[in-house]
Chains A and B, each alone.
Chain A
Amino acid sequence: METTINETENQFFSNKKKGIDIKGKFVVGITQVAVLLIIAILFIILGIIVYEGREKFSWEFISSFPTDGMTKGGIFPALIGTFILVVVMSIAAVPFGTITAIYLTEYAKENSKIAAAVRFSIRTLAVVPSIIFGLFGLGFFIQFMGTGMDKAFNGGELHWGQPNILWASLTMSLLTLPVIIVSVEEALKTIPRELREASLALGATKWQTIKNVVFPGSVSGIMTGTILAVSRGAGEVAPILFTGAAYYLATLPKSLSDQFMNLGYHIYIMSTQSSDVEKTMPIQFATTLVLLILTLSLNLVAVIIRSRIRRRAK
């Protein structure tokens, strides 16, 4: 890529001033260095984590429980905890995200203030620091909803008013809502206007058009959104710090009101609060490798589906 640019620059300047050529080369070179540096950093991170983690990384590591005070053994419960978290999160976030996207593309009028407000709050949701969601989860879900539910159903006995999977998943679903909305909206926009008009012209009502024409076209967008949301939810730790993640559990969670272990939280705990950080280093790197493989491969799938949607639009 370097040569092509320099060639054109050379051709352009060879019969003009020579001095600018060097300056131009230098300036373009700097921008190139910036790109290469970023890409290099990315691959260095990947490389080091793969290199350090490969030793411990095995099927046994993934499928076994941690033993000996988490200095040996695997990460099975953390993996399962993360899995349950993202499943419950998706169940909560996907319908709401899809419906909001359908509203924004199909119902909201061009210059409507309400739609603008909805869009603004979605973007705000996307930039609010994740720790704030954690605080919100604690203040709203656990203290307000949880204790409220306990009062209503359990006669004040503490059951829901404490950190658990359900509250953690719901907290996480708020965080990933914008991801889903943006993906679905993007997919809906690629559905040609003619298709909708044809449906309406054939006598279908607006709702029928949405149900039978628009919605089927948004399925790929929903998929992309869900995958991206899962990838995001699997990696975030701050929102679940005090809404449900547990340091160590001897058993897998049995119900939604149990606490759970989580891959990201596991990495955090192991690397900062473990009794022997040096000794468990291979485990930490291997756990990070598992998390990274999970999030990056999910992202890759989403990128592929998304590029297919874009190609369809062309």
Chain B
Amino acid sequence: MNSQFPINQNFTKESLKKQFRLSEFLAEKIISSVAFLSITIIVLIFVFVFKESLPIFNFGKSDAAKTEITTDSKPESYGSTPTEELKPETYGAEPAAKGELKPETYGSEPVTQEDLKPETYGDVKAEPTVESTSNETPEAVSENKEGADKTWSTFFTTEWVPVSEHPRFGLIALLVGTLKVTIIAMLIAGPLAILAALYTSCFASKRTKEIIKPIIEMLAAFPSVVIGFFALMVLATFFQDIFGYDSRLNAFIGGVAMALAAIPIIYTISEDALSAVPKTYTEASLALGASKWQTAFFVTLPAATPGIFAALLLGIGRVFGETMIALMATGNAALLSANPFESVRTFAATIGAEMAETVFGETHYSVLFFIGSLLFIFSFALNAVAEFYVKGKLIKKFQGK
């Protein structure tokens, strides 16, 4: 490494003085600004995912805007963004050209659909705006208001029928489905992973530990689509033979498969938490005559509780937002029931399955983005709790404050 030092032969007084070097100054500035990129990305994710779901909120606003519209100023009252003005209307010629460009693409369905309506949501509402400018008809507004009320009120119903004459976006069934899968997965993954972590950090010899840890962590390298595929092809048939239920793909299969995805996360973090318990704790316990297992269960495990709690939270986060396994193994039927052997549809799977079929800018599209922002907020909150609350507790515990 030494050979890579630049050799500076002539040390003069000037060269020894700390001088201002523009390139270094710039490089350092670039480094620190790049470091902020991750913060920026988080903010951007929130802004853009939420932005696309805004129309369903804007509909609500049009209620208040109604009076304004009937009097004078129209475009602002809709809360529609400047994109509306920026958008050139050259899209009209697009679809035909696009269809010729990519005829081989079987999956181009969503593309061509999007091409037909490539305008942002601002434009969709822009049409009634323009209309109301010319006609001054409050009917156009009240129509919108009705649509908005429908969208909002259907959120708390149980029916998820996004594509129909009267679309209903009942999130309750999806929420119940997601919770069902999450609970099943956590009931399986939680105990298994924590017990395994306990064995690895408290009972296993050093050599065994070095073998076990990488093997279990290898499970994390399994892509979720592979686990989903395995659940779909093998687990579903296997469990149907045992339990003999009707629907081959159901919440239970999804839960088992997601447990496989959550185990390595819970295992790794709990193992870290258990290993971080100060040696003095276990030594004191052993010196008092407690056996190894007593020390593990009554001293080490309670001391590591906050860390294990964090592990479980992050496991929940993983299962809650898992898309591919949910898409492939849960059956994807938005049924509302407590039976674990019924098909369910989770939030993430709904986005994954339906986004490609939505038309850009319509309510269905916005609702899917709204579900996305819910998922994002939820995982963000879980992470924040795991980070701050749990860490604070751990520090307090180990420093005896």
B366 CB to nearest A CB, Å: 11
CB<8 Å pairs between A and B, sample of 30: A24-B291, A31-B202, A34-B192, A34-B199, A35-B195, A35-B199, A35-B200, A42-B216, A121-B41, A129-B320, A129-B323, A129-B348, A132-B45, A132-B321, A132-B379, A135-B368, A138-B52, A156-B88, A156-B91, A195-B1, A235-B223, A236-B223, A237-B324, A248-B104, A264-B223, A264-B225, A268-B327, A292-B222, A292-B226, A296-B218
B223, A237: Cβ atoms closer than 8 Å: yes
Chain B at the A interface: SS class: helix
Q: Which of A73-129 contact B (CB under 8 A)?
A: 96, 99-100, 102-104, 107-108, 114, 117-118, 120-125, 127-129
Q: Any chain B CB within 8 A of the CB of A299?
A: yes
Q: How many residues of B contact A (CB 8 A)?
A: 112
**Which stretch (B106-114, B134-142, B150-158, B161-169) binds chain A?**
B106-114
Q: Which of B328-377 contact A (CB under 8 A)?
A: 328, 348, 351-352, 355-356, 360, 368-369, 372, 375-376
Q: Any chain B CB within 8 A of the CB of A143?
A: yes
Q: Closest A-chain residue to B361, C-beta based?
A: A143
Q: Any chain B CB within 8 A of the CB of A313?
A: no
Given A31-B203, A268-B324, 6 new contacts (CB under 8 A): A28-B203, A143-B120, A163-B110, A238-B352, A295-B221, A296-B218
C-alpha gap A196/B318 in the complex (Å): 39
B51, A139: Cβ atoms closer than 8 Å: yes
Q: Any chain A CB within 8 A of the CB of B287?
A: no
| Chain A residues with CB below 8 A from B243, complex form | none
A136, B44: Cβ atoms closer than 8 Å: yes
B323, A131: Cβ atoms closer than 8 Å: yes
B115, A1: Cβ atoms closer than 8 Å: no
Q: Any chain B CB within 8 A of the CB of A288?
A: yes
A139, B48: Cβ atoms closer than 8 Å: yes
C-alpha gap A237/B223 in the complex (Å): 9
| Chain B residues with CB below 8 A from A165, complex form | none
B1, A213: Cβ atoms closer than 8 Å: yes
| Chain B residues with CB below 8 A from A298, complex form | 221
Q: Any chain B CB within 8 A of the CB of A241?
A: yes
B214 CB to nearest A CB, Å: 6
A38, B196: Cβ atoms closer than 8 Å: yes
From the candidates B5, B24, B191, B321, name the one contacting A131 in the complex (CB within 8 A): B321
B109 CB to nearest A CB, Å: 8
Q: Could you mark each residue 217-251 of chain A with 1 if its beta carbon is under 8 Å from any beta carbon of chain B, else 0?
A: 10000000000000100111110011001111111
A267, B195: Cβ atoms closer than 8 Å: no
From the candidates B5, B16, B49, B233, name the one contacting A135 in the complex (CB within 8 A): B49
B35, A103: Cβ atoms closer than 8 Å: yes
Known: A99-B35, A132-B376. A174 touches B86 (CB 8 A): no
From the candidates A151, A248, A291, name the one contacting B105 in the complex (CB within 8 A): A248
C-alpha gap A310/B253 in the complex (Å): 39
- A interface bracket (residues with beta carbon within 8 Å of B): 35 or more
Q: Any chain A CB within 8 A of the CB of B90?
A: yes
Q: Any chain A CB within 8 A of the CB of B263?
A: yes
| Chain A residues with CB below 8 A from B320, complex form | 129
| Chain A residues with CB below 8 A from B12, complex form | none
Chain A at the B interface: SS class: helix
Known: A31-B196, A49-B226, A271-B229. A242 touches B355 (CB 8 A): yes
Q: Any chain A CB within 8 A of the CB of B4?
A: yes
From the candidates A125, A202, A267, A271, name the one contacting B38 in the complex (CB within 8 A): A125
Q: Could you mark each residue 219-258 of chain B with 1 if its beta carbon is under 8 Å from any beta carbon of chain A, else 0?
A: 1011111111110111000000000000000000000000
C-alpha gap A24/B292 in the complex (Å): 8
Residues of A within 8 A of B (CB): 1, 4-5, 8-9, 12-13, 20, 23-24, 27-28, 30-35, 37-39, 41-42, 45, 48-49, 96, 99-100, 102-104, 107-108, 114, 117-118, 120-125, 127-136, 138-140, 143-144, 147, 151, 155-158, 161-163, 174, 177-178, 181, 195, 199, 202-208, 212-213, 216-217, 231, 234-238, 241-242, 245-251, 259, 264-265, 267-268, 271-272, 281, 284-285, 288, 291-292, 295-296, 298-299, 303
| Chain B residues with CB below 8 A from A125, complex form | 38, 41-42
From the candidates A107, A130, A181, A272, name the one contacting B28 in the complex (CB within 8 A): A107
A1, B39: Cβ atoms closer than 8 Å: no
Q: Any chain A CB within 8 A of the CB of B94?
A: yes
C-alpha gap A258/B237 in the complex (Å): 38
B235 CB to nearest A CB, Å: 9
B47 CB to nearest A CB, Å: 9
C-alpha gap A126/B118 in the complex (Å): 31
Q: Any chain A CB within 8 A of the CB of B10?
A: no
| Chain B residues with CB below 8 A from A284, complex form | 229, 233
A132, B375: Cβ atoms closer than 8 Å: yes
**Which stretch (B57-65, B69-77, B275-283, B380-388) binds chain A?**
B380-388
From the candidates B31, B114, B314, B387, name the one contacting A103 in the complex (CB within 8 A): B31
C-alpha gap A5/B49 in the complex (Å): 53
B291, A135: Cβ atoms closer than 8 Å: no
